[in-house]
C-alpha cells in the first residue's frame, strides 16, 4: 500500500457545510428520532428538511441539477444526520447507492432523466442487489431480465432493500445470460409505478426502524430497453464499483452514530454524581472515554482518506487503492461504532439500557453498519485480496 496518507483536508467550505447540517439536524430531525424509532415510521420530516436544503443527494453533478459536491461533502452530510438519527441518514446514503450506477455507467439520457429527478427531489433512489440466496454471493442471483423486442421483461425477488416502497426509482441487478454467472448480470432502472412491481411487508428489525426494509417483487415487469445501465453483462462490475464508493457512506453513518453516542455519554458523566462527585472524575470512566474518542478519530481519519480516493476515482484521476480503502473504512468505522455505542450504554448504567435515553437506540442502529453493503467478514476478504 502507499505510504502517503495526506490525501484529504477539510476545507473551510467543508466545515461550513458541517455546521449547517448539524444545526438543521439538531433542530429539525433530532426531535423526531425517538418517535421514528418507536413507531417504525419513515422520517418524512427529515426527507422534507434535507430536500428543502438540497442535502438529500449532494453527490449529483451540477450538469443534472445537483450540487456537484465532492465525496467528502457527502460523507459529512451523512455523518451529521446520523449523529442524531441513523434512519434519516439513510436518505442521502441510499440515494447515492441507488443512483451511483447510473452516474458511473448510464447513458447520457438516463443520467439526465433520473439523476435530474433525484436532484430535484422528485423521488428517492434505492438499490436492488441482494436476494434470499444471494447475499454475500451476489453473483448467485436468480432475478431474470429477458430481452423482448425493444423492452426487457423482469421476473424475480430482491430482498433487504432499503427504503423500498418509499423510493420511486430502483437500480436492479438481473441475469441476462444465465451461463456466464457474474458476467451475465446487467443493471436496469425500474420505476415504482412500472406494472408488475410490488413490495413485501416491512421487515421487523433490531435497528434503523425508521428506514423501511422490504422485499421487492418483479412479476413480468416490462421496461424499455434504453433503461439498461451500460451494456448487457456489465451490471455486476458496475455493482462492485458502486460499492467501492458507497461503503464509505456506511462508514460515515457509523461515524455519526458513534459521535452522537460519545457526545451524549460525555454530557452524562459530567452531570451524574456518585460518591459525592461527577463520575467523569473517576479514572476508570476517563479511560473509557479516551478509548472511545481514540477509536472514533482513527475511524474518521480513515473514512475521510477513503472519501478523497473516491473523489479522485469519480473525477477520472483513478485510484488503485480505492477498493481497499473503501472496505477498510467501512469495516473499521462500523466495528468502532459498535464498540463505542456499547461502551456509551455502559457509562449510563441502568439508564443506558432504558428507552428513555437515546443510547440503546444508537447501539441497535450501529449493528447494521457491520452487516449491510457487505458484512465485515466480506470486507476483510476484499482487503486481503487487494493487498497483493
**Alpha carbons 211 and 155: distance in angstroms, whole number:** 25
Q: Decide: helix, strand or coil at residue 121.
A: coil
Burial 62-84, CB ≥16 within 10 A → b, else e: eebbbbebbbbbbbbbbbbbbbb
CA distance 135 to 140: 8
User: Can you tell me the distance from the alpha carbon of 183 to that of 232, in angstroms, rounded to the nearest whole number?
Assistant: 9
Which of 349, 362, 169 has the alpha carbon at shortest distance from 263? Answer: 362
215 grid coordinates:
422485499
Closest residue by Cα to residue 245 from 86, 105, 52: 105
Contact 32, 85 (CB under 8 A): yes
- Reading the block at residue 65, the C-alpha cell is 441539477
**Distance from C-alpha of 33 to C-alpha of 214, rounded to nearest angstrom:** 21
With beta carbons less than 8 A apart as the criterion, state whether 344 and 261 touch. yes
- The answer to whether the beta carbons of residues 149 and 103 sit under 8 Å apart is no
Cα–Cα distance for residue pair 176/227, rounded to 1 Å: 14
**Which residues does the annotation mark as catalytic?**
373
Query: Nearest 10 degrees: CA dihedral of 6, 12, 16, 21?
Result: -10
Query: What's the first-to-final CA gap in the chain, in angstroms?
Result: 9
- Phi–psi pair at 226, nearest 5 degrees: -75, 5
Question: What is the rounded CA–CA span in Å between residue 245 and residue 380?
Answer: 16
| Helix and strand counts by DSSP (H, E) for the chain | 12, 10
Amino acid at each position: 500500500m502507499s505510504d502517503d496518507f495526506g490525501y484529504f483536508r477539510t476545507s473551510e467550505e467543508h466545515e461550513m457545510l458541517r455546521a449547517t447540517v448539524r444545526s438543521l439536524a439538531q433542530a429539525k430531525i433530532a426531535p423526531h428520532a425517538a418517535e421514528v424509532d418507536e413507531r417504525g415510521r419513515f422520517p418524512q420530516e427529515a426527507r422534507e428538511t434535507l430536500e428543502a436544503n438540497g442535502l438529500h443527494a449532494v453527490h449529483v453533478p451540477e450538469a443534472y441539477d445537483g450540487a456537484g459536491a465532492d465525496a467528502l461533502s457527502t460523507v459529512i452530510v451523512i455523518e451529521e444526520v446520523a449523529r442524531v438519527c441513523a434512519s434519516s441518514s439513510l436518505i442521502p446514503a441510499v440515494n447515492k447507492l441507488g443512483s451511483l450506477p447510473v452516474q458511473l455507467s448510464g447513458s447520457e439520457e438516463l443520467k439526465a432523466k433520473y439523476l435530474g429527478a433525484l436532484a430535484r427531489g422528485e423521488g428517492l433512489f434505492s438499490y436492488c442487489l441482494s436476494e434470499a440466496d444471494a447475499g454475500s454471493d451476489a453473483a448467485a442471483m436468480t432475478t431474470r431480465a429477458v430481452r423482448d423486442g425493444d423492452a426487457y421483461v423482469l421476473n424475480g425477488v430482491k430482498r433487504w432493500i432499503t427504503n423500498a416502497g418509499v423510493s420511486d426509482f430502483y437500480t436492479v441487478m438481473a441475469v441476462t445470460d444465465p451461463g456466464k454467472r457474474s458476467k451475465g448480470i446487467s443493471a436496469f432502472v425500474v420505476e415504482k409505478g412500472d406494472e408488475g412491481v410490488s413490495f413485501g411487508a416491512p421487515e421487523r428489525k433490531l435497528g434503523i426502524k425508521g428506514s423501511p426494509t422490504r422485499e421487492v417483487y418483479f412479476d413480468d415487469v416490462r421496461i424499455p430497453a434504453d433503461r439498461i445501465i451500460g451494456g448487457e453483462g456489465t451490471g455486476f462490475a458496475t455493482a462492485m464499483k458502486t460499492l467501492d464508493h458507497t461503503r464509505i457512506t456506511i462508514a460515515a453513518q457509523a461515524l455519526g452514530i458513534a459521535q452522537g453516542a460519545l457526545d451524549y455519554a460525555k454530557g452524562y458523566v459530567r452531570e451524574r454524581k456518585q460518591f459525592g462527585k461527577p463520575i467523569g472524575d473517576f479514572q476508570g470512566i476517563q479511560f473509557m472515554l479516551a478509548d472511545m474518542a481514540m477509536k472514533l478519530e482513527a475511524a474518521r481519519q480513515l473514512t475521510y482518506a477513503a472519501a478523497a480516493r473516491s473523489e479522485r476515482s469519480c473525477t477520472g484521476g483513478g485510484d488503485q487503492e480505492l477498493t481497499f480503502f473503501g472496505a477498510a473504512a467501512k469495516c473499521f468505522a462500523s466495528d468502532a461504532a459498535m464498540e463505542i455505542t456499547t461502551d456509551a450504554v455502559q457509562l449510563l448504567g441502568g439508564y443506558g439500557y432504558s428507552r428513555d435515553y437515546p443510547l440503546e437506540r444508537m447501539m441497535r442502529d450501529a449493528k447494521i453498519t457491520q452487516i449491510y453493503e457487505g458484512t465485515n467478514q466480506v470486507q476483510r476478504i476484499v482487503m486481503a485480496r487487494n493487498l497483493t
